[in-house]
A and B are shown apart, each in its own frame.
Chain A
Amino acid sequence: MDFNLNDEQRLLSDTINRFVTDRYDFEHRLAAMAQPDGFSRSTWEELAELGLLALPFAEEDGGFGGGGLETMIVMEACGKGLLLEPFLATAILAGGALRLAGSDPQKSQRIEEIISGAHIMALAHHEPDGPRHTLTRLTTQALPVEGGGWRIDGRKTAVIAGAAADELVVSALAPQGPSLFLVDAANPGVTVVRRHGYDGVALADIAFDDVRLDEAHCLGVAGEGAQTLRTVFEHANAAVCAEAVGIMSDILDTTIEFLRTRTQFGVPIGSFQALQHRAVDMLMELEMARSMAMLAAMSLELDAEPRARNIAAAKARVGSAARMLGQQAVQLHGAIGLTMEYKVGHGFKRLTAIDALFGDADHHLDALAQAGGLLANA
């Protein structure tokens, strides 16, 4: 039993954290947000040069073969800096689907380009009138076309990095069941409308009208999309748990500093016990969340059942901690916490988005309860 990073992981951690500290301060983030893509292309290239985009991909596909812990390290640092660049969308969501379900040609045609930063991908799964989180209840249709290939029709919303993406992984209901497709953003019939996420992350609404695909663009086996998505969302949840920990630790640091320096009634407000105890509660929530984010990262290699349970537990726990820390960080700052010119409010909003993504705390607690609990069979 050991919770220390090994030498390589420590090096990775140093590298990415130094990058965030030196190259991604809050001003830089605001500037990136104002770019046409909603993130900085040059930062994206730098991340590629650091090799981060290669991290989650297998060595035989040209990647570094990193596991859950490596992703955790990167995502925690991304959280600290509130990075806007589409690492999650490209490397974990769409890239994850590609890794898990892609055929050799599908992978070899893309992964190298992803790693170099030249090919941005996004996962188009969530639907405007669908459930808050589902793997199977889709209205987007995939119909087999006579003579081979597919026709896709439907609408997707809140597609992370959807407007910048060169290519989309699209979930759709085929006669065989939920399936995944690789759709070029420039494909006829694809209409992308750029949207702004409240968390500063660039999103898109995407419509698919009579989009025609050949057989080679069905990702994996038709009808097996839900299984792939389940695993992709597990990886994504482990990743955003770590991102949330990074954000929470950053906003807690900022809040503590503020408590030390802001004076009212002639004293630093940090001398008020009500606020001290609130800050301690925040620290406790952070540490519990950190433990669970570690569990999630270390669970990705487990068998399906314990993996699903552990990650649901982690997302639920991190989600509730994120809500508490976000709200209290704003509260303890007073009005400045509500402004766009101050980073804490941005952290709060990103934490809110993280809870909402891939099943919120309620969703995962219900799932656990229905599965007989976290420790069932343990």
Chain B
Amino acid sequence: MDLNFTEDDLRFRDEVRGFLQDTLPDHLRQKMIARAHLGKADIVEWQRILNARGWAVPHWPVDYGGQSWTPTQRYIFQEEMALAHAPEGSPFNVNMIGPILCRFGTEDQKARFLAATANIDIWWCQGFSEPGAGSDLAGLKCSAVREGDVYVINGQKIWTTQAQHADWMFALVRTDATGRKQQGITFLLLDMTTPGITIRPIPSIDGVSDLNEVFFDDVRVPVENCIGEEGKGWDYAKHLLGNERSGIARIGLSKERLKQLRHLERTMAADGRLDSGEQARLARRLAEVEVELRALELTQLRVVSADAHGGGANSAASILKVRGTELQQRMTELVAELAGPAGLALPVHDDAIEGGHEEPAGWLANAAPYYFTMRKVSIFGGSNEIQKNIIAKTILRL
């Protein structure tokens, strides 16, 4: 056992670090530090910089623009990105549809979509959830009826993140309602400019309107936009939702946040804004969070190490999503607590971002909205309750 990175890994880390220092635009960095909401333009700008370096989609197969990094290098890359306050790329492009196209797409689909997806020339949204199909996703009803060379779609999707920006949607639709509910689901790619699509925004408690309902009224989708086989969509969806073992706990992000909390603790104490009882209590809470973070980081590293050394299934992997999200939430909660009443007023859009102070500018106003936002991480991507069901079945075999 050895907790240290190898020389090669350290060299790699320095290379990543240097690149991020040189290329991450300062206005994005400032927004990230302030926890301000990132717009589409921000994400696109950064992903294109990464893509120019060949690092936008490192975990894709090398033939499609990926890097042959080791699990440790992937871990380091993610951690360095977070510590440098670099935004993450669009998960829909990078982590969801891209790998599906690489694995199950036709040559035509790959040629048409992959490069554009890596560069976010196409902005994808995910049309899986429906009003009646959340955790029980296979219960989805949005129907697709084959008519010659097209599918005709009728029904609705909900919670579609950033559908308002999307050029394309990857969606699960029902092509057959007769068998088991997991059968008869088909994975389709839809051009969002197709007639018959209506988007209605759903404002969320963090003051953002990124969630949407999407309605389909006789929307005609060419059959060549079907991924894989008709009726096999559930298999592809499971693949998409399957755990990405490295990085799911987002340790880097939490580390960076903890640094910020420590920074706030120090500046607030120095300014006399914390009395001694508060200081002691806060120090204790931060110590607790740090211990939890270290335990989670080591657990993540155990999984990375097992992957790197060809280790098999590791029950440590299963806890990463649940404990990682709980910790992220705990930290945002602490920041919101620290902000107190001064954090009640909502941020004034964008003008909180000019930095220059000791404290990250805008942190006060963004603290609570960010706390509200982060409640999502234990709901989407398979809620924490669903994760526990899966662990109980697959690991504990209950």
Near A by CB (< 8 A), chain B positions 257-307 give 258, 262, 280, 283-284, 286-288, 290-292, 294-296, 298-299, 301-302, 304-306
B265 to chain A, nearest CB (A): 9
What B residues does A283 contact at CB under 8 A? Answer: 315, 318-319, 391, 395-396
Distance between Cα atoms of A313 and B286 in the complex (Å): 12
A253 to chain B, nearest CB (A): 10
Q: Are A294 and B1 in contact (CB under 8 A)?
A: yes
A21 at the interface (CB under 8 A from B): no
A interface bracket (residues with beta carbon within 8 Å of B): 35 or more
> CB < 8 Å: which of B1, B283, B284, B298 contacts A5?
B1
What B residues does A273 contact at CB under 8 A? Answer: 389, 392
Q: List 6 A-B contacts (CB under 8 A).
A: A1-B2, A2-B305, A256-B396, A283-B396, A313-B291, A317-B292
> CB < 8 Å: which of A256, A281, A317 contacts B398?
A256
A29 to chain B, nearest CB (A): 26
Contact with B along A1-26 (1 / 0, CB 8 A): 11111000000000000000000000
Distance between Cα atoms of A292 and B72 in the complex (Å): 20
- Nearest to B385 among chain A residues (CB) is A277
Q: Is chain A's interface secondary structure helix, strand, loop, or mixed overall?
A: helix
Distance between Cα atoms of A281 and B9 in the complex (Å): 34
A260 at the interface (CB under 8 A from B): yes
Near B by CB (< 8 A), chain A positions 29-84 give 69
Q: Are B396 and A280 in contact (CB under 8 A)?
A: yes
Distance between Cα atoms of A4 and B301 in the complex (Å): 12
A136 at the interface (CB under 8 A from B): no
Contact with A along B58-83 (1 / 0, CB 8 A): 00000000000000100000000000
A259 at the interface (CB under 8 A from B): yes
- Nearest to A270 among chain B residues (CB) is B398
Q: Check A375/B258 contact, CB under 8 A, given A291-B298, A291-B299, A298-B3.
A: yes
Q: Are A276 and B389 in contact (CB under 8 A)?
A: yes
- Contacts A283-B395, A373-B283 known; 17 new A-B pairs at CB < 8 A: A1-B4, A1-B6, A4-B305, A4-B311, A276-B392, A276-B396, A279-B396, A287-B315, A289-B295, A292-B291, A294-B302, A313-B291, A316-B291, A368-B287, A368-B290, A374-B291, A375-B258
Q: Are B301 and A370 in contact (CB under 8 A)?
A: no
B316 at the interface (CB under 8 A from A): yes
Q: Check A365/B287 contact, CB under 8 A, given A2-B2, A283-B315.
A: yes
What A residues does B323 contact at CB under 8 A? Answer: 284, 288
B112 at the interface (CB under 8 A from A): no
Near B by CB (< 8 A), chain A positions 275-333 give 275-277, 279-281, 283-284, 287-292, 294-295, 297-298, 313, 316-317
Q: Are B299 and A369 in contact (CB under 8 A)?
A: no
- Nearest to B390 among chain A residues (CB) is A280
B152 at the interface (CB under 8 A from A): no
The total of chain B residues at the interface (CB under 8 A) is: 47
Distance between Cα atoms of A288 and B294 in the complex (Å): 9
B163 at the interface (CB under 8 A from A): no
- Nearest to B259 among chain A residues (CB) is A375
Q: Check A1/B294 contact, CB under 8 A, given A283-B395, A369-B283.
A: no
What B residues does A113 contact at CB under 8 A? Answer: none
B99 to chain A, nearest CB (A): 25
Q: Check A374/B287 contact, CB under 8 A, given A3-B1, A288-B295, A294-B298.
A: yes
Q: Check A1/B388 contact, CB under 8 A, given A287-B316, A373-B287.
A: no
B12 at the interface (CB under 8 A from A): no
Distance between Cα atoms of A325 and B16 in the complex (Å): 41
A266 to chain B, nearest CB (A): 17
B185 at the interface (CB under 8 A from A): no
Distance between Cα atoms of A283 and B395 in the complex (Å): 9
A339 at the interface (CB under 8 A from B): no
> CB < 8 Å: which of B1, B299, B301 contacts A69?
B1
> CB < 8 Å: which of A2, A295, A316, A375 contacts B309?
A2
Near A by CB (< 8 A), chain B positions 361-398 give 385, 388-389, 391-392, 395-398
